[in-house]
Amino acid sequence: MTRSHLALAASLILAVAPRLHAQPAAESPAIPVRAVMMFFPSPDVQPEFIKFVREDLPREGVTHLVLQIDYGYAYTSRPEMAGERTTAEVKAVVAACRDAKIELVPLLNCLGHQSWAKTTHRLLTAHPEFDETPGLYPENEGIYCRSYCPNHPGVHAVMFDLLAEIAAVFEAKAVHVGLDEVFLIGEDACPRCHGRDPAELFAQEVRTLRDFLHGRGLKLWMWGDRLIDGATTGIGKWEASMNRTHRAIDLIPKDVVICDWHYESTPPTGGYFALKGFDVILASWNRPAVAVEQADHIARLRAENAAGAIGPRVLGVMATVWEQPTKFLPAHRALRAGEPPMDKSAAASMQALFRRVREIEAAR
């Protein structure tokens, strides 16, 4: 994405605003998707987590719960990939979400995030042949996270089995496949990807995953950072791409849902994704002021473009929680009991976000 694209997004949105302000109050909520993303709870905190889902999330007005499970589930389709979370544990969360009228979306990281720090995750320990950089970076020294090779002939048979099983046990309508922060792609060390265009490789993987899920009646959700040009926008290598994957935005199906995460500011990338034809959700993390700003931004985009194509594509907001429930739930509970919020806190940010959403709804 270039600066001219960002300017175009802003100018088109503003250009249609005068005639759209005359529209009657929208029939749908001002911000229809109000999501929370968390890690799947460990058994010691599951009872409190179930109570949180049944009582706290409806109180906040949450509509979707994204739970990152990765290789933590006890997969039966691929026993070598089996983790410790049981079917009974998953079904307890499924039942709680059903009772709370919250749509549950499992998250299984695909392509990137196949390691963390010195730990290589189960896919590449069970199948080291799938590694994009085989034999390199002992103990993952010198890299952020490992990637699997999207062109390995055996990798998708495994990933498809995992995606199908996790979608079934979660009784999901959509699956989040991650795809964020992919730094290792098209590497010289990979005999299959060497010399390939990173944008084409990334788009190929999105299409492959999307086609599989679509064939099962499932929607694909993904993070949006690899589809933003980090250099020309100035957004940088974390919340955007500096390894040329951004051009994949014109090579992937428009029916995927983009979760556009930005944790320190609110660049107008949500409007950019909507202009490109994608449904988009803005995601915040641990800065309450940024979360509130994103809610205001989404509400404004929807209100000022309600009669066109852009507004309906801007679906809503997501509070991400990048800490274990064992840490998050006590912080959330303390805030509800009246403890002063911290400037940087996932719990404070989540509560501020949905408080602002409720204020926006009440003011309509």
Q: What is the pLDDT of residues 266-321, one digit of tens each?
A: 999 999 999 999 999 999 999 999 999 999 999 999 999 988 889 999 999 999 99
**57 vs 364, residue with greater confidence:** 57
pLDDT value of position 127: 98
Find out whether 292 and 353 touch, Cβ atoms under 8 Å: yes
- Could you give the percent of the chain with pLDDT greater than 90? 89
- With a cut of 80, say whether residue 23 has pLDDT above it: no
What pLDDT score was predicted for residue 236? 95
63-83: average pLDDT = 98
Confidence at residue 3, expressed as pLDDT on a 0 to 100 scale: 46
Predicted pLDDT at 68? 98
Phi, psi of 92 (to 5 degrees): -65, -40
Spatial CA neighbour of 259 closest among 308, 311, 320, 202: 320
The arithmetic mean of pLDDT across residues 232-252, rounded, is 97
- Token pair of 44 as six digits: 């010691």
pLDDT at 27: 58
Mean pLDDT over 311-340 rounds to 96
Asked if 123 contacts 114 with a C-beta cutoff of 8 angstroms, the reply is yes
Could you tell me the sign of the dihedral formed by the alpha carbons of 222, 214, 211, 255, in that order? negative
Q: What's the CATH fold of domain 3-19+30-362?
A: TIM Barrel (3.20.20)
Residues 168-226 pLDDT 10s: 999 999 999 999 999 999 999 999 999 999 999 999 999 999 999 999 999 999 999 99
pLDDT value at 151 more than 80: yes
Q: End-to-end distance of the chain based on CA atoms, in angstroms?
A: 33
Taking residues 14-34, what's their average pLDDT? 55
Pairing of strands 219-223, 174-178: parallel
Contact 90, 43 (CB under 8 A): no
Q: Chain-wide mean pLDDT for the chain?
A: 93
